[in-house]
Amino acid sequence: MSVFVALHEKRLPFEMSTVDLGSRANHDASYVAKSLTQRVPTLMHGDFALSESSAITEYLDDAFQETHLYPRDRHLRARARQVQAWLRSDLMPIRQERSTEVVFYRVPGAPLTPAARAAVQKLLSAAEALLSGDEPNLFGTWCIADTDLALMLNRLILSGDPVPTRLIDYAAYQWERPSVQRWVELNRPPL
């Protein structure tokens, strides 16, 4: 999602090809030849291939500097990258128990396990600290980390899990961004 949003924010033309993860198409020789990590997404820019969402959005920000995906201030940029890395590397119980199927297919989840509830508290505490002011974005102006944080919060919000009103409002605001709405409105195959 974040790469799709980034490409739209940068107003870059692109073609999107889907990869059937259910049939393990990401392990086919043709895909492995492009994707070092055999993961999606993989960006092809000329003869350069790059996998991993954060790496791709950082590359796009460096390669196409007209529109910024990250804050220009080096401390805020580092913090945005920290938030993205943390959301992708930690909080695994949330990711397992509230997959993106909850967000895009409205698949209900079972009650959260104690491990997931602990991860939720960690997420909510960090999000509230990051959004301590009245700003609708993490760092004053929108950045790609806002999209990633909103997605993680929406895993909970759209499942009906308790989330503070301030964070619900933040996620709803981020979700209305036109580039995010383009992703939300994509036709998805049935589960």
pLDDT digits (tens, 9 = 90+) for 15-64: 999 898 889 989 999 998 999 999 999 999 999 999 999 999 999 999 99
Do the Cβ atoms of 177 and 147 come closer than 8 Å?
yes
User: Residue 134's pLDDT is what?
Assistant: 85
What distance in Å separates the CA atoms of residue 27 and residue 126, rounded to the nearest whole number? Answer: 36
Q: Which domains does the chain have, with CATH numbers?
A: 2-63 (3.40.30.10), 74-181 (1.20.1050.10)
Closest CA to 6 of 51, 70, 52: 70
User: Residue 170's pLDDT is what?
Assistant: 98
What distance in Å separates the CA atoms of residue 26 and residue 35, rounded to the nearest whole number? Answer: 8
State the helix-helix crossing angle for 74-89 and 144-157, rounded to 10 degrees: 30
H or E element: which one contains 43?
strand 42-45
- Over residues 134-186, the pLDDT tens digits come to 889 999 999 999 999 999 999 999 999 999 999 999 999 999 999 999 999 99
**What pTM was computed for the model?**
0.94
Cis peptide leading into residue 41 (ω within 30°): yes
